[in-house]
């Protein structure tokens, strides 16, 4: 056995020149036991091994395991332990929760403390139900197609808390009905006027009575009088005027006076038998009295004609003023002409407004002074008619607008500008509502009750199918028509472009089929990209950026350019394909953890973390196994993403004092067994504080310098060997021994492969006091050495 070096009893560098073949005889009686330091025989070791083998029992049935034994030559029995089939089947079971009711929501995206799915059920914000009730026999609110019914069997139900109605279609509360009843219960009160007297207050069965206040036949009296009063007045007057005429004269006068009634006047003649006075009773005949007693009336059969009889005309009779109500109701039609025709303006409750092929001019703007973007479907202006001026705010060029919009054919189907019937993508005819259908900015729903103006407005503000951009309000109003193929931009300032694309947070962009950007300020461009982390982006198809890492910490600041990448760490950048991903059921999922604050360059690139323990503390600085592209450990090693390299020992020499000794992440260009070469690297700074990368030319220069140094050292080594040989050759020279002797000598020597030849002369003085010597050597490196000496003896 040979060794080059021993240190502290431990071999640090050794070479075995031959195997150990000796054996130890007469070994002491040691035991295979703890703390026993005596040597033991092979027989005792064999006995201990056999005993150990017999103490192993292979029974795992109660633990859900199967244990099998396998004999290994020279090593005893190998036990294989694995889960039994029942345990595997149990582990594969997963609880599922589902709902077929649109009124319930289900979220299973999170896990509970045990790691299993956490199912959260909720109630939808917009319920679709038939009725609401406290119990089967309690009050119930039934929602019908055209009516809402509140009932409790056959019993009436009280509805409370109703706000006073304001418009024609609003419900009214009890206070409003009570006010109407109070007004309706009031009776008409009459006041006595000129020529009338008021008799009593009247009752419901016997209302107010109005009697005539008769006057007398006197000058200046304007009251009505009876015929009897007139007769008496005339009779008295006649008697007075004829008081001086005797009876004979009275008879003569009576015979001379006669009266005839006509033109509505009747005269009755009677002679007083006592006085002989003829009395004439003058009055209105029956026909005239009947005519005078008639009172004209004017009335209206509906509320559209108003009759006012409160004033008198010049004759003193009633003046009836008939006017048209400003608000006409209960009309079937209004015709502005003498007949109904296509060229006559008319309004019909069944056919609406017929402009009679005439322009409608001087129409006020339907916008009401607002901008289109400020008008919502709940505003009063939403249902206003639009003017051409309004249209110009939607359509820059309204020339030939009827031609642009198209119209309907004889069957009522919409046609294009050329009169061709509109169809869907499958060639099926569509309705006008379907032709004007717009796709809502969010929620993957559509609105199909548009007018041309509202359709244009919706497209201007929310986009078209597969292309939607939201505004600062984060529009949430949508239609009732579901369209799950459409894109959805539900976040403020979000943009979603593409089939089933979704931009679900503020300032997000989703561009591509199935692209989803769910966190603020994120971008997903490409088919199926899913970006769940803030301030992150993915370009390619399909890659996924997770919202949290394996420790549950939020991920942000991540970008991926490439296909099929899966990133779950912050501040990570990937340029390549198939990084940290695998396919499960055809979907891209993460196969492990990516490294925070790191850069992945190239397809199937991996990065290696510094190994940590269960507490998360770093186990080692160096020696971490690099990962292969499939996520398994390779043979090469690394200092990891956070390792500290303080020193390095090469060829027994330790180097230290490195700048940038501790890393804060990695830049990886390959994987274990799939390394890549970095080319075109600029020369880095070489100094005590430099952290630049060094390229091959700099290493070459260093190697050349070392090679030159090695050559020089080799020259020195060779020269020194030859010089030693020359010195040895000179040392081998003989010399004269006695006084007065002269001698010449030659010598030869070799040293570690080098050789030299020496020649010398010597001479003693005659008195033997002085010795003079001279020598010269010539070595194998063609070096010449001369020497001489003088020695004095006494």
The CATH number assigned to the domain holding 745 equals 3.30.1300.30
pLDDT tens, position by position, 301-348: 777 777 787 887 777 777 767 777 767 677 677 676 666 666 777 777
- Residue of 43, 48, 14, 8 whose CA lies nearest to 27: 43
Mapped onto helix, strand or coil, the DSSP state of residue 252 is helix
The answer on 440 and 551 residing in a single domain is: yes
DSSP 590-606: ESS-PPTT-EEESTT--
Share above pLDDT 90 across residues of the chain, in percent, rounded to a whole number: 32
Whether 64 is covered by a domain: the verdict is: yes
Angle 621-624-626 from CA coordinates, rounded to 5°: 140
Compute CA 241 distance to the chain's CA centroid, rounded to the nearest angstrom.
116
Average pLDDT on 720-740 reads 92
- Asked if 533 contacts 545 with a C-beta cutoff of 8 angstroms, the reply is yes
- Asked if 770 contacts 791 with a C-beta cutoff of 8 angstroms, the reply is yes
The answer on 608 and 716 residing in a single domain is: no
- Domain end, chosen from 595, 625, 655, is at 625
Mapped onto helix, strand or coil, the DSSP state of residue 194 is coil
Provide the pLDDT for residue 368.
80
Is residue 117 very low, low, confident or very high in pLDDT (cuts 50, 70, 90)? Answer: low
pLDDT tens, position by position, 58-81: 454 555 566 676 776 765 566 566
- List all residues 6 or more positions away from 95 whose beta carbon is below 8 Å from its beta carbon: 116, 117, 119
The answer on 614 and 711 residing in a single domain is: no
Whether 187 is covered by a domain: the verdict is: no
| pTM over cut 0.75 | no
Q: What long-range pairs does 134-140 form, CB within 8 A, spacing at least 24?
A: none
Lowest mean pLDDT among 14-18, 279-283, 781-785: 14-18
pLDDT tens, position by position, 360-419: 777 788 778 787 777 877 887 777 777 777 666 654 444 344 444 556 776 777 887 677
Higher pLDDT, 473 or 761: 761
Q: How far apart are CA 763 and CA 743, in angstroms?
A: 6
Phi, psi of 702 (to 5 degrees): -65, -45
Higher pLDDT, 294 or 433: 433
Lowest mean pLDDT among 272-276, 486-490, 551-555: 272-276
Is residue 661 very low, low, confident or very high in pLDDT (cuts 50, 70, 90)? Answer: very high
Strand (E) or helix (H) holding 293: helix 286-293
Question: Which tokens belong to 385?
Answer: 């008619």
The answer on 728 and 590 residing in a single domain is: no
In 512-623, the DSSP E strands lie at: 516-517, 523-525, 530-531, 537-539, 544-545, 559-561, 566-567, 573-575, 581-584, 587-590, 599-601
The answer on 546 and 439 residing in a single domain is: yes
pLDDT tens, position by position, 592-632: 999 999 999 999 999 999 988 877 788 888 889 999 999 99
Lowest mean pLDDT among 6-10, 383-387, 420-424: 6-10
Strand (E) or helix (H) holding 287: helix 286-293
The answer on 523 and 422 residing in a single domain is: yes
Average pLDDT on 80-84 reads 65
Provide the pLDDT for residue 435.
79
Is residue 5 very low, low, confident or very high in pLDDT (cuts 50, 70, 90)? Answer: very low
Indicate whether 175 pLDDT > 90. Answer: no
pLDDT tens, position by position, 130-158: 666 555 566 666 666 666 666 666 666 66
The answer on 711 and 610 residing in a single domain is: no
Provide the pLDDT for residue 16.
37
Provide the pLDDT for residue 345.
72
The answer on 611 and 482 residing in a single domain is: yes
Whether 501 is covered by a domain: the verdict is: yes
Provide the pLDDT for residue 101.
61
Indicate whether 702 pLDDT > 50. Answer: yes
The answer on 589 and 736 residing in a single domain is: no
Provide the pLDDT for residue 604.
96
> CB neighbours (10 Å) of residue 461?
19
The answer on 592 and 444 residing in a single domain is: yes
pLDDT tens, position by position, 666-686: 999 999 999 999 999 999 999
Whether 233 is covered by a domain: the verdict is: yes
Domain that holds residue 736: 706-792
The answer on 742 and 621 residing in a single domain is: no
Provide the pLDDT for residue 212.
57
- List all residues 6 or more positions away from 645 whose beta carbon is below 8 Å from its beta carbon: 621, 622, 639, 658, 661
Is residue 746 very low, low, confident or very high in pLDDT (cuts 50, 70, 90)? Answer: very high
Provide the pLDDT for residue 792.
93
Strand partners, 584: 587
Higher pLDDT, 114 or 521: 521
Q: How far apart are CA 361 and CA 340, in angstroms?
A: 22
Whether 221 is covered by a domain: the verdict is: yes
Whether 479 is covered by a domain: the verdict is: yes
Q: How far apart are CA 378 and CA 755, in angstroms?
A: 113
- Domain end, chosen from 84, 104, 130, is at 84
Question: Which tokens belong to 554?
Answer: 């939020």
pLDDT tens, position by position, 191-221: 555 445 545 555 555 555 555 566 776 767 7
- Asked if 180 contacts 164 with a C-beta cutoff of 8 angstroms, the reply is no
Domain count across the chain? 4
Mapped onto helix, strand or coil, the DSSP state of residue 684 is coil
Q: Which residues of 562-597 are buried (b: 16+ CB within 10 A; e: fewer)?
A: bbbbbbbbbbbbbbbbbbbbeeeeeebebbbbbbbb
Whether 55 is covered by a domain: the verdict is: yes
Q: How far apart are CA 676 and CA 692, in angstroms?
A: 19
Provide the pLDDT for residue 113.
76
Report which listed range, 287-291, 412-416, 466-470, is most confident: 466-470
In whole numbers, what is the pLDDT of the chain averaged over residues?
Answer: 76
Whether 103 is covered by a domain: the verdict is: no
Average pLDDT on 290-294 reads 66
- Domain end, chosen from 625, 660, 683, is at 625
Going 691 to 692 to 697 to 698, the CA torsion angle's sign is negative
The answer on 597 and 464 residing in a single domain is: yes
């Amino acid at each position: 056995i040979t060794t080059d070096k021993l240190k502290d009893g431990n071999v640090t560098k050794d070479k075995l020149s031959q195997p150990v073949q000796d054996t130890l005889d007469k070994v002491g009686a040691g035991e295979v036991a703890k703390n026993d330091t005596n040597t033991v025989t092979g027989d005792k070791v064999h006995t201990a091994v056999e005993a150990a083998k017999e103490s192993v029992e292979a029974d795992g049935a109660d633990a859900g395991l199967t244990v099998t034994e396998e004999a290994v030559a020279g090593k005893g029995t190998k036990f294989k332990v694995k889960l039994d089939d029942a345990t595997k089947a149990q582990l594969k079971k997963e609880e599922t929760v589902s709902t077929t009711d649109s009124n319930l929501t289900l979220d299973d995206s999170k896990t509970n403390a045990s790691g299993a799915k956490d199912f959260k059920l909720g109630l939808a914000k917009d319920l679709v139900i038939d009725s609401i009730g406290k119990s089967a026999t309690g009050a119930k609110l039934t929602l019908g197609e055209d009516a809402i019914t509140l009932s409790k069997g056959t019993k009436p139900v009280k509805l409370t808390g109703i706000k006073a109605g304001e418009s024609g279609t609003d419900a009214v509360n009890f206070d409003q009905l009570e006010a109407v009843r109070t007004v309706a219960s009031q009776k008409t009160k009459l006041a006595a006027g000129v020529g009338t007297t008021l008799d009593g207050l009247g009752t419901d069965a016997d209302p107010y009575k109005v009697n005539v206040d008769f006057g007398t036949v006197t000058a200046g009296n304007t009251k009505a009088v009876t015929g009897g009063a007139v007769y008496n007045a005339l009779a008295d007057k006649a008697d007075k005027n004829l008081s001086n005429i005797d009876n004979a004269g009275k008879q003569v006068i009576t015979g001379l006076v006669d009266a005839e009634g006509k033109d509505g006047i009747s005269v009755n003649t009677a002679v007083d038998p006592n006085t002989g006075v003829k009395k004439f009773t003058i009055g209105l005949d029956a026909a005239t009295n009947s005519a005078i007693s008639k009172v004209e009336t004017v009335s209206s059969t509906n509320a559209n004609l108003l009759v006012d009889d409160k004033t008198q005309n010049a004759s003193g009779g009633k003046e009836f003023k008939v006017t048209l109500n400003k608000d006409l109701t209960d009309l079937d039609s209004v015709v502005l002409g003498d007949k109904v025709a296509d060229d006559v303006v008319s309004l019909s409750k069944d056919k609406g407004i017929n402009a009679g092929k005439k322009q409608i001019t001087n129409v006020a703007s339907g916008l009401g002074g607002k901008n289109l973007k400020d008008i919502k479907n709940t505003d009063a202006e939403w249902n206003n008619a639009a003017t051409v001026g309004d249209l110009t705010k939607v359509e820059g060029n309204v020339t030939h607008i009827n031609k642009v919009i198209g119209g309907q054919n004889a069957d009522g189907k919409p046609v294009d500008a050329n009169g061709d019937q509109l169809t869907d993508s499958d060639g099926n005819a569509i309705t006008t509502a379907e032709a004007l259908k717009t796709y809502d900015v969010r929620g993957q729903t559509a609105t199909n009750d548009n007018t041309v103006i509202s359709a244009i407005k919706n497209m201007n503000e929310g986009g078209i199918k597969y292309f939607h951009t939201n505004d600062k309000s984060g529009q949430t109003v949508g239609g009732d028509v579901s369209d799950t193929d459409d894109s959805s931009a539900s976040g403020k300032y979000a943009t979603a472009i593409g089939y089933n694309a979704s931009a679900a947070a503020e300032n997000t962009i989703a561009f591509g089929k199935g692209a989803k950007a769910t966190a603020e300020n994120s971008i997903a461009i490409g088919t199926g990209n899913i970006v769940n982390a803030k301030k992150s982006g993915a370009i390619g198809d399909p890659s996924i950026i997770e919202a949290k890492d394996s420790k549950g910490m939020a991920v942000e600041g991540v970008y991926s350019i490439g296909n099929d990448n899966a990133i779950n760490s912050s501040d990570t950048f990937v340029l390549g394909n198939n990084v940290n991903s695998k396919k499960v059921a055809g979907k891209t999922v993460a196969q492990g953890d990516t490294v925070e604050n790191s850069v992945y360059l190239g397809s199937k690139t991996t990065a290696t973390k510094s190994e940590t323990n269960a507490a998360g503390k770093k186990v080692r600085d160096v020696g971490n196994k690099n990962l292969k592209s499939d996520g398994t450990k390779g043979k090469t090693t690394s200092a990891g993403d956070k390792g500290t390299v303080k020193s390095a020992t090469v060829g027994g020499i330790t180097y230290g004092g490195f700048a940038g000794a501790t890393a804060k992440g990695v830049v990886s260009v390959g994987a274990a067994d799939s390394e890549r070469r970095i080319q075109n690297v600029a020369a880095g700074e070489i100094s005590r504080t430099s952290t630049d990368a060094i390229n091959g030319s700099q290493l070459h220069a260093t190697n050349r310098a070392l090679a030159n140094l090695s050559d020089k050292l080799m020259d020195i080594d060779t020269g020194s060997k030859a010089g030693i040989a020359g010195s040895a050759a000179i040392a081998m020279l003989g010399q004269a021994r006695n006084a007065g002797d002269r001698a010449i000598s030659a010598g030869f020597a070799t040293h570690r492969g080098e050789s030299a030849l020496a020649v010398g002369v010597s001479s003693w003085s005659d008195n033997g006091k002085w010795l003079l010597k001279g020598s010269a050597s010539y070595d194998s490196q063609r070096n010449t050495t001369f020497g001489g000496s003088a020695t004095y003896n006494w």
